[in-house]
């Protein structure tokens, strides 16, 4: 059984002005695979091509080259659309609907039977914290409430694939946490999530795969979590003094950095045990022993500012 939910192969897309005088290449030979049941983050700076990619997955845009399949079906086909839920960066509902009417409208367009729809609408609105505003006109909603409604409508028909384009835009920390919790709940239910976001802390918290795009090209594909850790060890030694420095130097160990009475050492797996023994022999205290790691932000900045390509 093919385990990929989204398969993007060699997709390029160029936008041309009406008179074809200027051309902007939005996507260049993009390859993306989203595996079933994963939460994949799609990150990149503004204008990198994230929304264009999502719009091609939805079938709103057509690639100039390459192919896109969703559940093995042609992107944008009715069957593919039936199985996905989408929230755009800014959700655009009809302002004259109440939250309940908007949800019922989208639910009915998703082929949801009328009878259970009412209950499903209430359940999703409650889940997104809009229970008290069900019968309020959407036009009177705050930006955060509209975003919550956007997520609620994407979840309404219990899709197998959730495409979320910057779902936390305009949300307060409480709302962001709610979205993160919902993503985790959906993943536990078996939903595949493809999430475009700028908020790296949210991605670290919720996603297990990362795809980074810059200038329309995929520059990084990586697992989130342990892969961010590097080789070797970082050891923090407290009670540092000049005598200790000379003793350890004789044994071939020099601190990478000294901060007052705290020294930081870097060593390999093979060196770790010996170094720790010597430190303890000198009656120094070992503060922390850890794998050195880079944050997602470090990786993001490295790929976005630099020219690295993986």
Q: How far is the CB of 111 from another protein (least distance, A)?
A: 6
CA distances from 177 to 1, 32, 128, 184 (A): 34, 27, 11, 11
Do 156 and 124 meet the contact criterion of CB atoms below 8 Å apart?
Answer: yes
CA distances from 152 to 14, 85, 102 (A): 33, 10, 10
Q: How far is the CB of 211 from another protein (least distance, A)?
A: 21
Residue 93 in tokens: 């509902």
Q: Which is nearer to another protein, 52 or 203 (CB)?
A: 52
Q: How far is the CB of 45 from another protein (least distance, A)?
A: 19
Residue 221 in tokens: 């594909």
CA distance 140 to 279: 65
Residue 252 in tokens: 């071939």
Q: How far is the CB of 3 from another protein (least distance, A)?
A: 24
Q: Which is nearer to another protein, 108 or 273 (CB)?
A: 108
Residue with tokens 């200027």: 22
Do 244 and 282 meet the contact criterion of CB atoms below 8 Å apart?
Answer: yes
β-pairing, 39-43 vs 192-196, is parallel
Q: Which is nearer to another protein, 101 or 282 (CB)?
A: 101
Binding site for another protein (CB under 8 A): 15, 55, 58, 60-62, 78-79, 81-82, 84, 86, 88, 90-94, 96, 105-106, 108-111, 150, 153
Q: How far is the CB of 86 from another protein (least distance, A)?
A: 5
Q: Which is nearer to another protein, 76 or 239 (CB)?
A: 76
Q: Which is nearer to another protein, 26 or 200 (CB)?
A: 26
Beta bridge partners of 12: 65
């Amino acid at each position: 059984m093919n385990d990929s939910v989204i398969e993007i192969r060699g997709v390029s897309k160029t936008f041309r002005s009406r008179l074809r005088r200027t051309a902007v290449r939005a996507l260049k030979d993009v390859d993306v695979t989203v595996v079933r049941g994963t939460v994949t983050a799609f990150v990149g700076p503004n204008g990198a091509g994230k929304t264009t990619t999502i719009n091609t997955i939805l079938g709103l845009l057509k690639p100039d080259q390459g192919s896109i399949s969703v559940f093995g079906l042609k992107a944008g086909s009715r069957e593919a659309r039936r199985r996905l839920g989408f929230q755009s960066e800014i959700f655009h509902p009809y302002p004259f609907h109440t939250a309940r009417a908007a949800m019922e409208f989208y639910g009915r367009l998703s082929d949801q039977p009328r009878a259970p729809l009412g209950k499903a609408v209430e359940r999703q609105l409650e889940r997104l914290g809009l229970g008290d505003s069900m019968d309020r006109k959407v036009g009177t909603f705050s930006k955060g409430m509209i975003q919550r409604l956007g997520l609620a409508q994407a979840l309404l028909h219990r899709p197998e694939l959730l495409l979320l384009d910057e779902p936390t835009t305009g949300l307060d920390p409480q709302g962001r946490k709610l979205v993160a919790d919902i993503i985790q709940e959906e993943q536990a239910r078996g939903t595949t999530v493809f999430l475009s976001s700028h908020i790296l802390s949210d991605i670290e918290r919720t996603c297990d795969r990362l795809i980074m795009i810059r200038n329309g090209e995929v520059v990084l594909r990586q697992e989130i979590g342990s892969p961010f850790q590097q080789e070797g060890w970082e050891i923090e030694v407290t009670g540092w003094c000049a005598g200790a420095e000379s003793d350890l130097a004789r044994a071939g160990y020099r601190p990478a950095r000294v901060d007052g009475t705290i020294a930081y050492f870097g060593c390999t797996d093979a060196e770790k045990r010996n170094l720790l023994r010597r430190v303890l022999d000198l009656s120094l205290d070992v503060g922390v022993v850890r794998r050195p790691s880079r944050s997602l932000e470090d990786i993001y900045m490295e790929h976005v500012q630099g020219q690295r390509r993986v």
